[in-house]
Amino acid sequence: MHEKSHSPLDDIRAHIAGMPGPDTEAERIARERDGQLTKPPGALGRLEKIAFWLAAWQGRNPPAAERIEVAVYAANHGVAKQGVSAFPPEVTEQMVANFRAGGAAINQICKTFGLGLKVHELALSRPTGDITCEPAMSERECTATIAYGMEAVGERPDVLCLGEMGIANTTIASALLCALHGGEPEDWVGPGTGVDEAGLARKADAIRRALEFHGPYLNDPLTILTRLGGREFAAIVGAIIAARHARVPVILDGFMVTAAASVLHALMPEALDHCIAGHVSAEPAHRRALEKIGKRPLLDLDMRLGEGSGAGVAAAIIKAAAATHGGMATFADAGVSEKNE
Amino acid sequence: MHEKSHSPLDDIRAHIAGMPGPDTEAERIARERDGQLTKPPGALGRLEKIAFWLAAWQGRNPPAAERIEVAVYAANHGVAKQGVSAFPPEVTEQMVANFRAGGAAINQICKTFGLGLKVHELALSRPTGDITCEPAMSERECTATIAYGMEAVGERPDVLCLGEMGIANTTIASALLCALHGGEPEDWVGPGTGVDEAGLARKADAIRRALEFHGPYLNDPLTILTRLGGREFAAIVGAIIAARHARVPVILDGFMVTAAASVLHALMPEALDHCIAGHVSAEPAHRRALEKIGKRPLLDLDMRLGEGSGAGVAAAIIKAAAATHGGMATFADAGVSEKNE
């Protein structure tokens, strides 16, 4: 007799299933306050909706966006040896050093808007398996990395921005999205950091071989993450789950973070209700990936850098939303006449 | 014998004709620096282009976005008596008091991003003429108000955001755009602060009557501004001109500011090259108005409040652009490998 064996991923499934819903009372109070502010109803557009969303997922009135943290997860990928990136793999580690020295784009963005920054190196010297011929990770390793990501919200910022760095990881993101949503590899690949036509063909070919190799195992989103993913993707999945439990709304960055989030969406669509898409990047498949998870991006600035840069700029919009909602005078306070009957 | 009389607007025409072009050397230096920064070429998308644009129009390397000022021009309009707004005209003055007391949306946005704010009241107790049956202003008054607007850049901020407040001024903006670009009044009107279908019909009807009444005079953009405009529109025209002369790049706010800028564009399309469209508002004709002047908006957040709020939020993007361009490490500084050959 043989019982179905316990998978280490089952603990993660339990965390996902147990995620709390929105605080509808906090949202109701935010909507009520909004109706009294000195502006025509609806005139702040998405800023108003962001304030309601913050209230619902923070469970707080007024919602806050003072302490915003950017968590960047860096990892290396065995698939890099397939010639899928315009940059050599050592750039991942070099860029981590650049983050620590304050020289990267995300450092300047954090300084500009007063955001905190935490960079997580995920075993850079030990790339994941080459997905064209082996699993990226074992189930145990994937579970451990998700659990690591769950620690990102330990200090409970008001809002968490998620970003990543990892040479060759647009290929991983495309593989995940192709496995989750179907279609041809060509539908999901793009130039990434700047590969040429030949590089693009190598990316699609690597994904096609990976999907063939892992085919029979790709029927469950967490298994797809294990076999085709990478450590930054697993950590981001963990961070999204933990943020929900800790009542921390999340700003997703670009193509990679959206691919990681898509794993959760495939398991349970409402798992991303506490997440907002910070921007749509110039990576062509990002727009389609956002449509699949039903997210309208806040910004559309042709950015395609990763490292949390799009989410970090979007954090400024979130700050404006919280500041207007919390700081504006009401019609009664300011002695302003309301709309004609 | 009768000589062609000198119009007071001719002085303004001279200021417009004398506007300087971009500093192409400053732009070249900015592009050169950008190529050395630790990111794939082009990966910061519009942030990079904004940095080049700032350098070109400030004539400075690196370009700066530390001191950003929001100038809000408030005025009242005779056409308000045609029932074209959802709010009574006294709200203009009440909102000015709200700006001064720090209770409006723009105050919170300025606080969030460290922007300066200056509110200009333009003879609120003396509304302009009702455009359905008289000129909004005399040529002398229009000229004086443009000249007043030219003082806005007196302290030479790094960047100037232009905003407005004025009950009934979406009708004025629609009238200007219809006179400048043609089409039917219905193509250019929208709900503004929130009029219903009947209010919308009154707006279109008022514009139709105004165009009929002033018809023979509407062959020159500055005459259109004089007859169909309003003081905030004239002041904004002046501010745009003066900013160009003072090498201060400009962020345009929403529908009204775009209508004012369109007057200049009709005179000389390159007159707006130092201006960026901060956002596209929810006022339906704003998108078309931006297309007519060839501007792609930075933000699309369904905002429709005016008072410089969209430009103020867009200022955050400008800050991020200047900060990344000026603060990032180069490949050489950071010891990061460049792209594969």
The answer as to whether B315 is a domain residue is yes
DSSP secondary-structure letter at B293?
T
State mean pLDDT over A311-329: 98
User: Hey, is the C-beta of A282 within 8 angstroms of any chain B C-beta?
Assistant: yes
Number of CB pairs, chain A paired with chain B, less than 8 A apart = 204
Task: Assess if residue B287 is contained within a domain.
Answer: yes
**Contact between chains at A38 and B103 (C-beta distance less than 8 A):** yes
In the stretch 28-47 of chain A, residues with CB closer than 8 A to chain B read 37-47
Q: Is the Cβ of B298 closer than 8 Å to some Cβ of chain A?
A: yes
Write the secondary structure of A314-336 as one string of H (helix), E (strand) and C (coil). HHHHHHHHHHHHHHCCEHHHHCC
Question: Chain B partners of A113 at a C-beta cutoff of 8 Å?
Answer: 316, 320
Interface of A with B in 104-133 (CB under 8 A): 104-105, 107-109, 111-113
pLDDT at A341: 56
pLDDT tens, position by position, for chain B (341 residues)?
Answer: 455 568 899 999 999 999 999 999 999 999 999 999 999 999 999 999 999 999 999 999 999 999 999 999 999 999 999 999 989 999 999 999 999 999 999 999 999 999 999 999 999 999 999 999 999 999 999 999 999 999 878 789 999 999 999 999 999 999 999 999 999 999 999 998 889 999 999 999 999 999 999 999 999 999 999 999 999 999 999 999 999 999 999 999 999 999 999 999 999 999 999 999 999 999 999 999 999 999 999 999 999 999 999 999 999 999 999 999 999 999 999 999 887 75
Q: Which residue in chain B has the smallest CA separation from A330?
A: B103
The three-state secondary structure class of B155 is coil
- Residue pair A156/A244 in contact by the 8 Å Cβ criterion: no
Q: Is B330 in a helix, a strand, or coil?
A: strand
Threshold 0.90, pTM exceeds? yes
CA atoms within 13 A on the CB side of A56: 17
Over range A207-228, report the average pLDDT. 97
Number of domains into which chain A is organized: 1
Average pLDDT over residues A277-295: 97
Of all residues in chain B, the one with the smallest CA distance to A111 is B323
Half-sphere exposure of B23 (CA within 13 A, CB side): 24
CA nearest to A175, candidates A198, A158, A160, A192: A192
Residues in B touching A88 (Cβ below 8 Å): 337, 340
Domain membership flag for residue A21? no
Residue type, A256: M
Enter the ipTM: 0.96
Distance of alpha carbon B70 from alpha carbon B318, whole angstroms: 13
Whole-number CA gyration radius for chain B? 21
Residue B122 lies in a domain: yes
Which residues of chain B are within 8 Å of residue A298 when distances are taken between CB atoms?
Answer: 301
The secondary structure of chain B in percent helix, strand, coil, rounded to multiples of 5, reads 55, 10, 35
pLDDT of residue B1: 44
Task: Supply the pLDDT for residue B155.
Answer: 81
CATH number at B150 reads: 3.40.50.10210
pLDDT per residue over A58-74, tens digit each?
Answer: 999 999 999 999 999 99
State whether A334 and B97 contact (CB < 8 Å): yes
Give contacts of A319 with chain B, Cβ < 8 Å.
112
Tell me how far apart the 2 most distant CA atoms of chain B are, in Å.
78
Query: Closest Cα of chain B to A45: distance in Å?
Result: 4
Tell me how close the Cα of B77 comes to any Cα of chain A, in angstroms. 17
How far CA A180 is from CA of A189, A218, A259, B229, in Å, comes to 14, 8, 9, 56
Tens digit of each residue's pLDDT (9 = 90 or more) over A104-155: 999 999 999 999 999 999 999 999 999 999 999 999 999 999 999 998 787 8
Average the pLDDT over each of A159-173, A244-258, B79-93, B221-235 and give the range with the smallest value: B79-93
Residue B4: predicted pLDDT: 59
**Containing structural domain, residue A308:** 66-320
Taking an 8 Å cut-off on Cβ atoms, the answer to whether B194 and A334 are in contact is no
Give the per-residue pLDDT at B341. Answer: 56
Tell me how close the Cα of B325 comes to any Cα of chain A, in angstroms: 8
* Contact residues, A window 48-87, toward B, CB-based 8 Å cutoff: 85-87
DSSP B27-44: HHHHHHHHTTBSS-TTTT
B188-201 tens-digit pLDDT: 999 988 899 999 99
Question: Looking at A252-261, A332-341, B42-51, B167-176, which range is the least confident one?
Answer: A332-341
What stretch of H or E contains B199? Answer: helix B197-214
- The answer to whether B95 and A331 are in contact (CB under 8 A) is no
Does A88 lie at the interface with B, CB-CB under 8 angstroms? yes
| Chain B residue whose CA is closest to A48 | B303
Cβ atoms < 10 Å from Cβ of A3? 5
Q: Calculate ∠ Cα A258-A264-A265, nearest 5°.
A: 75
CA distance B157 to B155: 6
Q: Which helix (H) or strand (E) holds B58?
A: helix B46-58
Minimal C-alpha gap between B110 and chain A (Å): 9
In a domain, A262, yes or no: yes
One-letter-per-residue 3-state SS of A156-214:
CCCEEEEEEECCCHHHHHHHHHHHHHCCCHHHHCCCCCCCCHHHHHHHHHHHHHHHHHH
Please report whether residue A328 resides in a domain: no
For residue A104, what pLDDT is reported? 98
DSSP structure class, residue B307: T
Q: Is residue B22 part of a domain?
A: no
**By C-alpha distance, which of A230, A280, A231 is closest to A258?**
A280
